[in-house]
Each structure stands twice: as structure tokens, then as C-alpha cells.
Amino acid sequence: NAGVTQTPKFRILKIGQSMTLQCAQDMNHNYMYWYRQDPGMGLKLIYYSVGAGITDKGEVPNGYNVSRSTTEDFPLRLELAAPSQTSVYFCASSYSDRTNTEAFFGQGTRLTVV
């Protein structure tokens, strides 16, 4: 199993450009999450999904969009990149059932907007 795979690992965007951060998991997890982490700060939840076709806003959703058409994939879309979106983005997944299992994280995408 690959676990949670994020692509790309690094990206530089110009202000106003758009891009999609990819996240895929092969563990058949129903829950998936996107976080951002600014330098020296904690993780902030952007969006999450409890299953295919269902998404919901987290703490800092402005400037982002998500979709969940399959169980495996949860892409994060930046439509008009701004310098404030310079951050490290982490995707995570978990399979919540009665045993309340843990979340697994990808290695992150480091995004710089200039």
C-alpha cells in the first residue's frame, strides 16, 4: 500500500494562477482532509469529506475548492493564487468506525505564490 500520496511535492505559482493539488489514498478510507500549515504554525483544516460526493468546510476554506467524486481521490483547487496561500498543504485520510481508527497523512505539498 502506498498510503496517502500527494502531488506535486513542490510548486511555485504566480499571483492569479490556478492549480490543483492532488491527493490519493489506497486504504479505502471514507474520510479525507486537507490542511495548510504556515511556517512555525499549526495545521489548519481547509476542507474535509466523509465520503464520495460529500464535502464540507473546515476552519479556513476561503480561496479553495474541493471535490470528491471517488473514494480514493480528494483534489484541492486554488482558483486565483494569492501570496497568502503560500504554505505547506497536507492531505490525510481515515476510516472511522467503531474502533475509531487514526488518520494517515501525506508528505505534503510545498506551495509558494509569488
Partner 1 sequence: DAKTTQPTSMDCAEGRAANLPCNHSTISGNEYVYWYRQIHSQGPQYIIHGLKNNETNEMASLIITEDRKSSTLILPHATLRDTAVYYCIVRVAYGNKLVFGAGTILRVKS
Given the rule CB under 8 A, which residues bind partner 1? 4, 31, 33, 35, 37, 41-45, 48, 50, 56, 58-59, 88, 90, 92, 94, 96, 98, 100, 102-108
Alpha-carbon distance of 49 to 54, in angstroms, equals: 6
Alpha-carbon distance of 13 to 112, in angstroms, equals: 6
Smallest distance from the beta carbon of 112 to partner 1, in angstroms? 14
Q: Is 17 or 71 the residue whose CB approaches partner 1 more closely?
A: 71
Smallest distance from the beta carbon of 103 to partner 1, in angstroms? 6
> Which cell goes with 5?
500520496
Q: Is 18 or 107 the residue whose CB approaches partner 1 more closely?
A: 107
Q: How would you write 44-83 as a 3-class SS string?
A: EEEEEEEECCEEEECCCCCCEEECCCCCCECCEEECCCCH
37 pairs with which residues across the strands?
43, 88
Q: Is 17 or 45 the residue whose CB approaches partner 1 more closely?
A: 45
Q: Is 52 or 88 the residue whose CB approaches partner 1 more closely?
A: 88
Residue type at position 66: V
Smallest distance from the beta carbon of 9 to partner 1, in angstroms? 12
